[in-house]
Amino acid sequence: MGQTIYRALAELEGTQQAAALCTVTRSEGSTPRHVGSKMLVFADGRSIGTVGGGDLEHRVMDEAWMAIGDGQTRYLKYNMADPSRGDPGVCGGQVEVFVEPILPPATLVVIGAGHVGKAVVHLAKWLGFRVVVNDDRPEFCNPETVPGADEYLPVTMDKLPEQIKINKRTIFILTTRGSNVDSAGLAPLLESAAGYIGVIGSRRRWATTVRALKAKGIPEEKIARVHSPMGLELQAETPEEIAISIMAEVLMIRDKGTGKSMKDHRVEKDVDRP
């Protein structure tokens, strides 16, 4: 069974599926499974292996599905003595289970394959994202023009929800050629579960886009999801510098950072620095 789990783990990367690996890390007294027992739980409800069956396993599976949803590890402790007190068994022992979510790379969609878009593709790929390039002009949306992406979608922006699976780990970076492109294609993205939507450009350009979206009946709370102008203030000028500004904001929001200078911000963990 262990080999089956390891084989399934190896296949996760290729299939871009999410799962959670549950491992018994401590077992004292009479318990249904020994230390090292594993169960792999998939987002679609399937599982391989076991950590003990019964109510214990159902509880662990519930935690595994929550871990897949929020991306957080869990360390679970259970007494196996008295169900009347809420224990998941009567064996008399204690068991601890570590739940580790295994998630595919977050998908970053670069919409608009101009100079800044190319720089964002390069940097995002280097940072470990799965990168999708979108541009309604096929001559801009191909591996020769923008090398390094995982997928190329030469369609209009509004068609993207039909082309890719969008969830809260999906990031949209709009480095488009103008407000007219943004206002024409943003509405379906604002209705999606995307975790970040950012639009390049000046405040004036974004104000123009907002007026156009409101004219289409898009509610203000939906529009407020957008980060625009996107990026951190770095006085960036070149496409590469702007890409760093954009990706810095993406990482800050994803990892709940502050954006403050490290010398002015107390951190609890040591970070290697050159």
User: Residue 200 above 60 pLDDT?
Assistant: yes
According to the model, what pLDDT value does residue 162 have? 95
Shared-domain flag, residues 126 and 223 = yes
In the structure, what pLDDT confidence band is assigned to residue 129 with cuts at 50, 70 and 90?
A: very high
- 80, 95 in Cβ contact below 8 A? yes
Which residue range is the domain that position 40 belongs to?
Answer: 2-102
Picking from 102, 121, 142, the residue at the C-terminal end of a domain is: 102
Q: What percent of the chain has pLDDT over 90?
A: 67
263, part of any domain: no
pLDDT tens digits, residue range 221-273?
999 999 999 999 999 999 999 999 999 999 999 988 988 888 876 655 555 55
267, part of any domain: no
Cite the DSSP H helix spans in the chain.
2-15, 54-70, 115-126, 160-163, 179-190, 203-215, 220-223, 239-254
Q: Which residue would you say has higher pLDDT here, 125 or 35?
A: 125
Cite the DSSP H helix spans in 37-139.
54-70, 115-126
Shared-domain flag, residues 36 and 168 = no
According to the model, what pLDDT value does residue 80 have? 62
Shared-domain flag, residues 90 and 153 = no
In the structure, what pLDDT confidence band is assigned to residue 25 with cuts at 50, 70 and 90?
A: very high
Shared-domain flag, residues 91 and 144 = no
269, part of any domain: no
Domain count, the chain: 2
The CATH number given to whatever domain includes residue 188 is: 3.40.50.720
pLDDT tens digits, residue range 47-99?
999 887 778 888 899 999 999 988 899 999 887 654 454 444 546 578 899 99
Local structure of 233: helix, strand or coil: coil
User: Residue 13 above 80 pLDDT?
Assistant: no
Shared-domain flag, residues 149 and 175 = yes
Q: Which residue would you say has higher pLDDT here, 30 or 211?
A: 211
124, part of any domain: yes
Shared-domain flag, residues 115 and 215 = yes
Cα four-point dihedral sign 64, 102, 38, 42: positive
